[in-house]
Amino acid sequence: MPALVSPPPASSAPGEAARVEPKAHSLKTEPLSFRDAPALFASGCFAVGILLARLHWTPPALLLLVLLSAGMVAWTASRVALRVALIPLAAAWLALGAVCFEIQLQPDAQPQLIAYADNAKHTVEGRITRLGPPRVIESSTPYSEELREERSQSITLRVSAVDGGTLSGGLGPSVYAPMDALLPEFHCGDELRVTAPVHLPDRYNDPGVWDSRAYMLEQGTSVLGSTKAADVVIVPGPRHPTIGCRLQALQQNASLRLLSFADHHDARLPAWLLLSHDDAAMLSAMIAGDRTWLERRIRVGFERTGSFHLLVVSGLHLAIFAGLVFGIAGRLRLGRIVATMVTIALSFAYAIFTGFGQPVQRSFWMVNSTCWRGQSGANEARSTPSDSRVSACWQRIHARSSTRDSR
Protein backbone atom coordinates (compact mmCIF):
# COMPACT_ATOMS: atom_id res chain seq x y z
CA MET A 1 0.00 0.00 0.00
CA PRO A 2 1.56 3.31 -1.01
CA ALA A 3 2.39 5.72 1.81
CA LEU A 4 0.33 8.85 2.06
CA VAL A 5 2.40 11.98 1.56
CA SER A 6 0.94 15.28 2.60
CA PRO A 7 1.37 18.06 0.03
CA PRO A 8 3.87 20.76 0.87
CA PRO A 9 2.47 24.01 2.17
CA ALA A 10 1.83 26.67 -0.41
CA SER A 11 4.60 29.18 -0.88
CA SER A 12 3.95 32.85 -0.72
CA ALA A 13 5.88 33.36 -3.94
CA PRO A 14 7.10 31.16 -6.81
CA GLY A 15 10.46 29.54 -6.03
CA GLU A 16 10.38 30.62 -2.38
CA ALA A 17 10.92 27.85 0.15
CA ALA A 18 8.11 27.08 2.49
CA ARG A 19 8.53 28.73 5.88
CA VAL A 20 7.48 26.85 8.97
CA GLU A 21 6.60 28.99 11.92
CA PRO A 22 7.87 27.53 15.18
CA LYS A 23 5.29 26.81 17.82
CA ALA A 24 5.50 28.86 20.95
CA HIS A 25 5.72 26.70 24.09
CA SER A 26 4.78 28.27 27.37
CA LEU A 27 5.32 26.73 30.80
CA LYS A 28 2.21 26.63 32.87
CA THR A 29 2.87 27.28 36.55
CA GLU A 30 0.46 26.63 39.34
CA PRO A 31 0.58 28.15 42.81
CA LEU A 32 1.96 25.91 45.54
CA SER A 33 -0.81 24.59 47.76
CA PHE A 34 -1.03 22.38 50.80
CA ARG A 35 -2.93 19.74 48.85
CA ASP A 36 -0.05 19.37 46.35
CA ALA A 37 2.82 19.23 48.88
CA PRO A 38 1.62 18.54 52.43
CA ALA A 39 4.99 17.10 53.45
CA LEU A 40 6.78 20.28 52.35
CA PHE A 41 4.43 22.26 54.55
CA ALA A 42 5.10 19.96 57.53
CA SER A 43 8.88 19.83 57.10
CA GLY A 44 9.08 23.62 56.72
CA CYS A 45 7.16 24.20 59.95
CA PHE A 46 9.24 21.54 61.69
CA ALA A 47 12.50 23.25 60.62
CA VAL A 48 11.23 26.65 61.75
CA GLY A 49 10.37 25.13 65.12
CA ILE A 50 13.94 23.89 65.50
CA LEU A 51 15.28 27.33 64.57
CA LEU A 52 13.03 29.07 67.11
CA ALA A 53 14.12 26.63 69.81
CA ARG A 54 17.77 27.42 69.08
CA LEU A 55 17.10 31.14 69.45
CA HIS A 56 14.89 30.99 72.53
CA TRP A 57 14.70 28.32 75.24
CA THR A 58 11.25 27.13 76.26
CA PRO A 59 10.52 24.47 78.90
CA PRO A 60 9.83 21.14 77.19
CA ALA A 61 6.72 20.62 79.33
CA LEU A 62 5.20 23.82 77.97
CA LEU A 63 6.09 22.80 74.42
CA LEU A 64 4.41 19.42 74.91
CA LEU A 65 1.29 21.18 76.19
CA VAL A 66 1.27 23.43 73.11
CA LEU A 67 1.80 20.40 70.84
CA LEU A 68 -1.09 18.44 72.33
CA SER A 69 -3.41 21.46 72.35
CA ALA A 70 -2.60 22.42 68.75
CA GLY A 71 -2.99 18.81 67.63
CA MET A 72 -6.44 18.52 69.21
CA VAL A 73 -7.56 21.83 67.72
CA ALA A 74 -6.26 20.81 64.27
CA TRP A 75 -8.06 17.45 64.45
CA THR A 76 -11.31 19.13 65.47
CA ALA A 77 -10.99 21.84 62.81
CA SER A 78 -10.23 19.29 60.08
CA ARG A 79 -13.73 17.87 60.51
CA VAL A 80 -15.13 21.28 59.63
CA ALA A 81 -12.83 22.70 56.94
CA LEU A 82 -9.28 21.97 55.90
CA ARG A 83 -8.38 25.63 55.51
CA VAL A 84 -9.35 26.29 59.12
CA ALA A 85 -7.16 23.41 60.32
CA LEU A 86 -3.98 24.68 58.63
CA ILE A 87 -3.15 27.25 61.33
CA PRO A 88 -3.32 24.89 64.34
CA LEU A 89 -1.63 22.18 62.26
CA ALA A 90 1.29 24.53 61.54
CA ALA A 91 1.47 25.36 65.24
CA ALA A 92 1.60 21.63 66.06
CA TRP A 93 4.51 21.06 63.66
CA LEU A 94 6.32 24.11 65.04
CA ALA A 95 5.92 22.78 68.58
CA LEU A 96 7.03 19.31 67.49
CA GLY A 97 10.25 20.71 65.99
CA ALA A 98 10.97 22.66 69.17
CA VAL A 99 10.28 19.60 71.35
CA CYS A 100 12.61 17.41 69.29
CA PHE A 101 15.36 20.02 69.60
CA GLU A 102 14.95 20.33 73.38
CA ILE A 103 14.88 16.58 74.09
CA GLN A 104 17.74 15.74 71.73
CA LEU A 105 20.43 13.81 73.56
CA GLN A 106 23.68 15.73 73.80
CA PRO A 107 27.06 14.00 74.28
CA ASP A 108 28.67 14.21 77.69
CA ALA A 109 30.90 17.30 77.72
CA GLN A 110 33.24 15.62 80.27
CA PRO A 111 34.13 18.90 82.05
CA GLN A 112 36.04 17.16 84.85
CA LEU A 113 38.40 15.44 82.42
CA ILE A 114 38.77 18.58 80.28
CA ALA A 115 39.98 20.41 83.40
CA TYR A 116 43.16 18.29 83.20
CA ALA A 117 43.88 19.36 79.59
CA ASP A 118 46.63 21.80 80.56
CA ASN A 119 49.49 20.24 78.52
CA ALA A 120 51.01 18.94 81.75
CA LYS A 121 51.78 15.29 82.43
CA HIS A 122 49.08 13.29 84.19
CA THR A 123 48.78 9.62 85.05
CA VAL A 124 45.65 8.23 83.46
CA GLU A 125 44.19 4.77 83.94
CA GLY A 126 41.65 3.26 81.59
CA ARG A 127 40.65 0.42 79.34
CA ILE A 128 41.34 0.26 75.59
CA THR A 129 38.15 0.58 73.58
CA ARG A 130 39.73 1.23 70.19
CA LEU A 131 43.19 0.36 68.93
CA GLY A 132 44.82 1.62 65.78
CA PRO A 133 47.40 -0.38 63.82
CA PRO A 134 51.13 0.19 64.42
CA ARG A 135 52.56 2.54 61.81
CA VAL A 136 55.82 4.14 60.80
CA ILE A 137 55.52 7.92 60.56
CA GLU A 138 57.79 10.86 59.92
CA SER A 139 58.14 13.54 62.60
CA SER A 140 60.36 16.51 63.26
CA THR A 141 61.87 17.79 66.48
CA PRO A 142 60.88 21.27 67.70
CA TYR A 143 62.66 24.17 65.95
CA SER A 144 64.08 21.78 63.34
CA GLU A 145 63.09 20.78 59.82
CA GLU A 146 64.93 17.47 59.94
CA LEU A 147 62.54 14.54 59.58
CA ARG A 148 62.95 11.25 61.37
CA GLU A 149 61.06 7.99 61.27
CA GLU A 150 59.49 6.48 64.36
CA ARG A 151 56.86 3.94 65.30
CA SER A 152 53.42 5.13 66.34
CA GLN A 153 50.11 3.66 67.46
CA SER A 154 46.88 5.47 68.34
CA ILE A 155 44.72 4.28 71.24
CA THR A 156 41.33 5.24 72.65
CA LEU A 157 40.91 4.78 76.40
CA ARG A 158 37.78 4.72 78.51
CA VAL A 159 39.19 6.59 81.49
CA SER A 160 38.57 5.32 85.01
CA ALA A 161 41.04 7.41 87.05
CA VAL A 162 43.33 10.44 86.68
CA ASP A 163 46.20 11.07 89.12
CA GLY A 164 44.68 8.58 91.54
CA GLY A 165 41.20 10.13 91.56
CA THR A 166 38.18 8.37 90.08
CA LEU A 167 37.08 10.03 86.87
CA SER A 168 35.23 9.05 83.71
CA GLY A 169 35.64 10.15 80.12
CA GLY A 170 37.60 9.38 77.00
CA LEU A 171 41.29 9.90 76.18
CA GLY A 172 42.98 9.41 72.81
CA PRO A 173 46.72 8.97 73.45
CA SER A 174 49.29 8.30 70.73
CA VAL A 175 52.20 6.07 71.70
CA TYR A 176 55.61 6.61 70.05
CA ALA A 177 58.82 4.58 69.96
CA PRO A 178 62.10 4.93 67.99
CA MET A 179 62.72 2.68 65.02
CA ASP A 180 65.22 0.55 66.92
CA ALA A 181 62.62 -0.26 69.61
CA LEU A 182 59.31 -2.10 69.55
CA LEU A 183 55.93 -0.89 70.67
CA PRO A 184 54.22 -2.83 73.47
CA GLU A 185 51.80 -5.47 72.27
CA PHE A 186 48.44 -3.86 73.02
CA HIS A 187 45.08 -5.61 72.72
CA CYS A 188 41.62 -4.12 72.70
CA GLY A 189 40.22 -4.54 76.21
CA ASP A 190 43.58 -4.20 78.04
CA GLU A 191 43.84 -2.01 81.15
CA LEU A 192 46.55 0.66 80.77
CA ARG A 193 48.31 3.19 82.97
CA VAL A 194 49.53 6.08 80.81
CA THR A 195 51.64 9.05 81.83
CA ALA A 196 51.27 11.73 79.18
CA PRO A 197 50.64 15.46 78.71
CA VAL A 198 46.93 15.95 78.12
CA HIS A 199 45.56 18.60 75.75
CA LEU A 200 42.38 19.49 73.85
CA PRO A 201 41.99 18.59 70.16
CA ASP A 202 42.94 21.26 67.66
CA ARG A 203 40.07 23.40 66.49
CA TYR A 204 39.83 25.83 63.60
CA ASN A 205 37.67 28.86 64.35
CA ASP A 206 36.84 29.61 60.72
CA PRO A 207 33.09 29.34 60.08
CA GLY A 208 32.03 26.16 58.35
CA VAL A 209 35.22 24.15 58.97
CA TRP A 210 35.28 20.72 60.53
CA ASP A 211 34.74 20.79 64.31
CA SER A 212 36.95 17.96 65.51
CA ARG A 213 36.14 18.56 69.18
CA ALA A 214 32.40 18.17 68.67
CA TYR A 215 32.93 15.04 66.56
CA MET A 216 35.24 13.46 69.15
CA LEU A 217 32.73 14.20 71.92
CA GLU A 218 30.14 12.30 69.91
CA GLN A 219 32.58 9.39 69.89
CA GLY A 220 33.08 9.68 73.68
CA THR A 221 36.57 11.25 73.60
CA SER A 222 37.25 14.76 74.90
CA VAL A 223 41.06 15.04 75.29
CA LEU A 224 44.19 13.83 73.52
CA GLY A 225 47.74 13.01 74.56
CA SER A 226 51.06 11.72 73.28
CA THR A 227 53.65 9.73 75.15
CA LYS A 228 56.63 7.44 74.80
CA ALA A 229 56.20 3.69 74.91
CA ALA A 230 58.26 3.60 78.14
CA ASP A 231 55.56 5.66 79.91
CA VAL A 232 52.81 3.14 79.16
CA VAL A 233 52.20 0.21 81.51
CA ILE A 234 49.83 -2.68 80.76
CA VAL A 235 48.05 -3.50 84.02
CA PRO A 236 47.90 -7.28 84.49
CA GLY A 237 44.43 -8.72 84.71
CA PRO A 238 41.65 -10.28 82.67
CA ARG A 239 41.01 -8.81 79.26
CA HIS A 240 37.47 -7.73 78.42
CA PRO A 241 37.09 -7.29 74.65
CA THR A 242 33.78 -5.74 73.69
CA ILE A 243 31.65 -6.04 70.58
CA GLY A 244 33.16 -2.74 69.46
CA CYS A 245 36.62 -4.33 69.61
CA ARG A 246 35.53 -7.16 67.33
CA LEU A 247 33.90 -4.76 64.88
CA GLN A 248 37.03 -2.65 64.85
CA ALA A 249 39.08 -5.74 64.01
CA LEU A 250 36.83 -6.31 60.97
CA GLN A 251 37.30 -2.69 59.90
CA GLN A 252 41.07 -2.93 60.16
CA ASN A 253 41.14 -6.19 58.19
CA ALA A 254 39.15 -4.53 55.39
CA SER A 255 41.47 -1.50 55.44
CA LEU A 256 44.59 -3.67 55.37
CA ARG A 257 43.29 -5.57 52.34
CA LEU A 258 42.59 -2.32 50.53
CA LEU A 259 46.01 -0.91 51.40
CA SER A 260 47.67 -4.15 50.35
CA PHE A 261 45.94 -3.93 46.98
CA ALA A 262 47.21 -0.36 46.56
CA ASP A 263 50.79 -1.15 47.60
CA HIS A 264 51.11 -4.40 45.62
CA HIS A 265 49.04 -3.70 42.54
CA ASP A 266 49.29 -5.68 39.35
CA ALA A 267 51.33 -3.86 36.71
CA ARG A 268 49.04 -5.24 34.02
CA LEU A 269 46.08 -3.23 35.30
CA PRO A 270 45.21 0.00 33.47
CA ALA A 271 46.27 3.25 35.08
CA TRP A 272 42.71 4.27 36.01
CA LEU A 273 42.37 1.14 38.18
CA LEU A 274 45.55 1.78 40.18
CA LEU A 275 45.39 3.27 43.66
CA SER A 276 48.04 5.14 45.58
CA HIS A 277 48.54 4.69 49.32
CA ASP A 278 46.72 7.97 50.00
CA ASP A 279 43.83 6.91 47.77
CA ALA A 280 43.49 3.63 49.67
CA ALA A 281 43.61 5.44 53.04
CA MET A 282 40.80 7.79 52.00
CA LEU A 283 38.74 4.92 50.57
CA SER A 284 39.13 2.94 53.80
CA ALA A 285 37.81 5.96 55.70
CA MET A 286 34.85 6.46 53.37
CA ILE A 287 33.94 2.78 52.97
CA ALA A 288 34.95 1.05 56.20
CA GLY A 289 34.95 4.04 58.56
CA ASP A 290 38.61 3.42 59.49
CA ARG A 291 40.46 6.76 59.55
CA THR A 292 43.60 5.51 61.30
CA TRP A 293 45.58 5.43 58.05
CA LEU A 294 44.91 9.05 57.16
CA GLU A 295 48.10 11.06 57.45
CA ARG A 296 48.04 14.45 59.08
CA ARG A 297 48.72 16.34 55.85
CA ILE A 298 45.58 14.80 54.34
CA ARG A 299 43.42 15.36 57.41
CA VAL A 300 44.43 18.99 57.78
CA GLY A 301 43.51 19.81 54.19
CA PHE A 302 40.01 18.36 54.58
CA GLU A 303 39.51 19.89 58.04
CA ARG A 304 40.50 23.41 57.01
CA THR A 305 38.23 23.38 53.97
CA GLY A 306 35.26 22.05 55.93
CA SER A 307 35.01 18.92 53.78
CA PHE A 308 36.20 16.32 56.29
CA HIS A 309 32.62 15.02 56.49
CA LEU A 310 33.28 13.35 53.13
CA LEU A 311 35.66 10.99 54.93
CA VAL A 312 33.06 10.10 57.57
CA VAL A 313 30.53 7.40 56.77
CA SER A 314 27.18 9.21 56.70
CA GLY A 315 23.89 9.36 54.83
CA LEU A 316 25.41 9.66 51.36
CA HIS A 317 27.54 6.52 51.77
CA LEU A 318 24.73 4.43 53.25
CA ALA A 319 22.32 5.64 50.55
CA ILE A 320 24.69 4.56 47.78
CA PHE A 321 25.14 1.16 49.45
CA ALA A 322 21.38 0.66 49.92
CA GLY A 323 20.70 1.75 46.34
CA LEU A 324 23.20 -0.76 44.97
CA VAL A 325 21.72 -3.58 47.08
CA PHE A 326 18.18 -2.73 46.00
CA GLY A 327 19.24 -2.48 42.38
CA ILE A 328 20.96 -5.88 42.47
CA ALA A 329 17.91 -7.39 44.18
CA GLY A 330 15.76 -5.99 41.38
CA ARG A 331 18.04 -7.53 38.77
CA LEU A 332 17.64 -10.88 40.50
CA ARG A 333 13.84 -10.43 40.42
CA LEU A 334 13.45 -11.09 44.13
CA GLY A 335 10.23 -9.12 44.37
CA ARG A 336 9.69 -5.81 46.07
CA ILE A 337 8.99 -7.06 49.59
CA VAL A 338 11.94 -9.46 49.62
CA ALA A 339 14.22 -6.85 48.04
CA THR A 340 13.17 -4.30 50.64
CA MET A 341 13.83 -6.69 53.55
CA VAL A 342 17.22 -7.70 52.12
CA THR A 343 18.16 -4.04 51.61
CA ILE A 344 17.23 -3.11 55.19
CA ALA A 345 19.08 -6.11 56.65
CA LEU A 346 22.29 -5.49 54.68
CA SER A 347 22.11 -1.73 55.32
CA PHE A 348 21.86 -2.39 59.05
CA ALA A 349 24.84 -4.76 58.88
CA TYR A 350 26.87 -2.16 56.98
CA ALA A 351 25.90 0.54 59.49
CA ILE A 352 27.07 -1.66 62.37
CA PHE A 353 30.28 -2.50 60.50
CA THR A 354 31.16 1.18 60.08
CA GLY A 355 30.66 1.96 63.77
CA PHE A 356 26.98 2.98 63.84
CA GLY A 357 27.75 6.62 64.54
CA GLN A 358 25.04 9.24 64.82
CA PRO A 359 25.11 10.23 61.11
CA VAL A 360 24.80 6.57 60.13
CA GLN A 361 21.97 6.03 62.62
CA ARG A 362 19.95 8.91 61.18
CA SER A 363 20.59 7.73 57.65
CA PHE A 364 19.67 4.13 58.44
CA TRP A 365 16.28 5.04 59.87
CA MET A 366 15.65 7.34 56.92
CA VAL A 367 16.58 4.57 54.44
CA ASN A 368 14.40 2.16 56.41
CA SER A 369 11.37 4.45 56.17
CA THR A 370 12.08 5.14 52.49
CA CYS A 371 12.16 1.42 51.71
CA TRP A 372 8.75 0.76 53.20
CA ARG A 373 7.39 3.96 51.76
CA GLY A 374 8.35 2.72 48.31
CA GLN A 375 5.86 -0.11 48.68
CA SER A 376 2.95 2.32 48.59
CA GLY A 377 3.96 3.82 45.23
CA ALA A 378 6.17 6.49 43.80
CA ASN A 379 3.57 9.24 44.22
CA GLU A 380 3.45 8.83 47.99
CA ALA A 381 7.24 8.58 48.15
CA ARG A 382 7.58 11.90 46.33
CA SER A 383 5.23 13.58 48.80
CA THR A 384 7.22 12.53 51.85
CA PRO A 385 10.20 14.57 53.11
CA SER A 386 13.58 12.89 52.97
CA ASP A 387 17.16 13.60 52.24
CA SER A 388 17.30 14.83 48.63
CA ARG A 389 20.27 12.65 47.73
CA VAL A 390 18.69 9.42 48.96
CA SER A 391 15.25 10.36 47.70
CA ALA A 392 16.48 10.93 44.13
CA CYS A 393 18.54 7.73 44.14
CA TRP A 394 15.70 5.73 45.64
CA GLN A 395 13.02 6.98 43.28
CA ARG A 396 15.14 6.11 40.25
CA ILE A 397 15.72 2.60 41.57
CA HIS A 398 12.00 2.10 42.23
CA ALA A 399 11.12 3.46 38.79
CA ARG A 400 13.48 1.04 37.07
CA SER A 401 12.20 -1.82 39.19
CA SER A 402 8.63 -0.94 38.29
CA THR A 403 9.52 -0.91 34.57
CA ARG A 404 11.06 -4.35 34.80
CA ASP A 405 8.13 -5.74 36.72
CA SER A 406 5.68 -4.39 34.12
CA ARG A 407 7.58 -6.23 31.40
Residue 87 to residue 76: CA distance in whole angstroms = 12
Contact 172, 215 (CB under 8 A): no
CA-nearest of 192, 199, 197, 217 to 128 is 192
Contact 46, 90 (CB under 8 A): no
Residue 322 to residue 360: CA distance in whole angstroms = 12
The CATH number corresponding to 111-241 among 1.10.1740.10, 3.30.750.24, 2.40.50.140, 3.30.360.10 equals 2.40.50.140
Q: Hey, where are the domains in the chain?
A: 38-102, 111-241, 244-311, 315-406
Exposure class string for 85-120: b at 16+ Cβ within 10 A, else e? beebbbbbbbbbbbbebbeeeeeeebeebbebbeee
Query: What values do phi and psi take at 89, rounded to 5?
Result: -65, -40
pLDDT by residue for the chain (407 residues), tens only, comes to 444 444 555 544 554 545 555 555 566 677 777 677 788 888 889 999 999 998 888 888 888 899 999 989 988 888 877 778 888 889 999 999 998 888 877 778 888 999 999 889 999 999 998 888 888 887 776 666 777 888 998 899 999 999 988 888 999 999 999 888 888 889 888 899 999 999 998 777 766 666 778 878 877 888 999 999 989 999 888 777 778 788 888 888 888 888 888 877 666 777 777 788 888 888 888 888 888 888 878 887 887 777 877 888 877 888 889 889 988 988 888 888 888 888 889 999 998 888 777 778 878 888 877 777 766 554 444 444 444 444 444 444 444 444 444 44
State how far Cα 233 lies from the chain centre.
Answer: 35
Q: Centre a 10 Å sphere on the Cβ of residue 346 and count the other Cβ atoms it contains.
A: 17
Question: Which H or E run includes 160?
Answer: strand 147-162
Question: Which H or E run includes 85?
Answer: helix 82-102
